[in-house]
Structure 1
Amino acid sequence: MAEGKISENIEEYLEVLYRNGSNGEQVSTTQLSKDLGIAPGSVTQMLKKLEDLGYIGYTPYKGATLTEEGMKIAQKITRKHRILEKFLLDVLKVKEENVHEQACEMEHTLSDEAERALCTMLHHPDLCPDENVIPACDFDFGSCQECFSQKDFDQVINRKFNLLSISELTGNSEGTISFIRGNDDLLDDIAGTGIKVGQHLKYEYNENRIGNHYLVSIDENELNIPVEMANNIFIRI
């Protein structure tokens, strides 16, 4: 769907759904009502509308899950919000208690081109000030080096599928490594482990989180990945 045709209200709902269920978890109406500060009846009406638009799957009395299209929009607005928080706090030195509200006001109007410029200026951050993972961009690159080498934004195309970082996975998952984020040093460190785009990754949620490391299987070889890398290795589920 073309940018600019989605209301801020819809983006807010999808953002909250993503925050609570980024890996396909069902989010209850009660949770949405609490997070949005909106009466449950009004939330139910909006969920029915979002289902009609194809952004969510909705089960009465149980809750909602994001569809692929809903996930794409939710990741995009969440990414812009968290990058703006980082910019407002680290660069503009806005008071920490004001950062979230100001990012909420700005996220809906931040263009993709400006988002990309902010990401580059901030050296491809992986965490917002609240230490939540910043979702991957939806530009069709395999790494930030590829993105940086493309100077003309008009030549940048969007990725057709959604990604999750290893550290965002909340259940047993497997998929193809499709994007690796970071500055040159981090990309070199990740490459030094033998990890690269195109490999198959498998992760068992309940057993494979070990302190600040993630035990994963990549092309059937087990690797212990520190969280700093896990935040920046993205797979297509």
Structure 2
Amino acid sequence: MKKSSSNKEDYLKAIYENNGIDEFVSNKSLANHLSVSPASVTEMVEKLQKDGLIEYKPYTGVKLTDEGLKKTVGIIRNHRIIETFLFDKLDYSLHDLHNLSEELEHVKDPVFFSRLYNYLGEPETCPHGGIIPTEEVFIEKAIKPIATFKKGDSPEIRRVMDNTDILNYMGSIGLTIGDTIHITEVDVFNELMLFSINDKTDTHHISFKQAQIIFSY
């Protein structure tokens, strides 16, 4: 069953993570990303538009306004600084980072996040490969979904969305950020991609839907 969500920040982050700075993100993409119903997306889009945080274009989708981008960058930055700290210093696994980071990102102390960022050595990316945005750099670098590559291509995995199912699957096959996959088959009928990892010969598969939330350059 689809869940509903009233958390505006979740939607803003989803728009950002789907390159909703330069491009319009469809309501369908947001529904898939957040695992909510299309009706829930429509309702929240109306609220965010009323707040001046997004621009909405019928039959096209949404993208962040300047005000929405400023708000979202702050949320994303805090979240990813926390994730990096938990992963690098406290040995949390990739799929255990999200919920705790969601709670800690709301600490109302910018000095805390600034000091933590400096303590970590001012990292450019979080454990999932997303950039840790600054005032000067706030656009994701890895925005090309693996799903857009073809048979014979060998993209390097540079970013993955914070999704429990895909993170668990990647962990089960030993796929991580920085690995190169070699696409051996694209099965359009079954909507699957077959691939091997680095120099290994074992073949794995991933659905087109999953391949939309793993990114390369």
The answer, yes or no, to whether TM exceeds 0.5 is yes
Aligned partners of 1:36, 1:110: CA distance in 2, in Å?
Answer: 25
Aligned positions of 1:1-237 closer than 5 A: 9-109=7-107, 111-136=109-134, 138=135, 163-164=137-138, 167=141
Letter in 1 for 2:99: E
> Are 1:54 and 1:70, in contact at CA under 8 Å, matched by a contact in 2?
yes
Deviation of 1:102 after TM superposition, in Å, equals 1.6
Cα 1:68–1:132 shift into 2, 3 Å: same
Aligned partners of 1:163, 1:85: CA distance in 2, in Å?
Answer: 19
Cα 1:30–1:67 shift into 2, 3 Å: same
Cα 1:109–1:37 shift into 2, 3 Å: farther
Cα 1:100–1:74 shift into 2, 3 Å: same
> Are 2:19 and 2:143, in contact at CA under 8 Å, matched by a contact in 1?
no
Query: Taking every aligned residue pair, what percent have the same amino acid on both sides?
Result: 35
Which residues of structure 2 form unaligned runs of 5+?
1-5, 145-154, 157-217
Tell me, what secondary structure is at the counterpart of 2:79? helix
Deviation of 1:81 after TM superposition, in Å, equals 1.1
Deviation of 1:108 after TM superposition, in Å, equals 2.2
Deviation of 1:169 after TM superposition, in Å, equals 8.7
Q: How many residues align?
A: 141
> Are 1:23 and 1:168, in contact at CA under 8 Å, matched by a contact in 2?
no
TM-score (norm. length: structure 2): 0.59
Tell me, what secondary structure is at the counterpart of 2:56? strand
Aligned partners of 1:102, 1:53: CA distance in 2, in Å?
Answer: 28
> Are 1:80 and 1:110, in contact at CA under 8 Å, matched by a contact in 2?
no
Deviation of 1:105 after TM superposition, in Å, equals 2.3
> Are 1:23 and 1:169, in contact at CA under 8 Å, matched by a contact in 2?
no
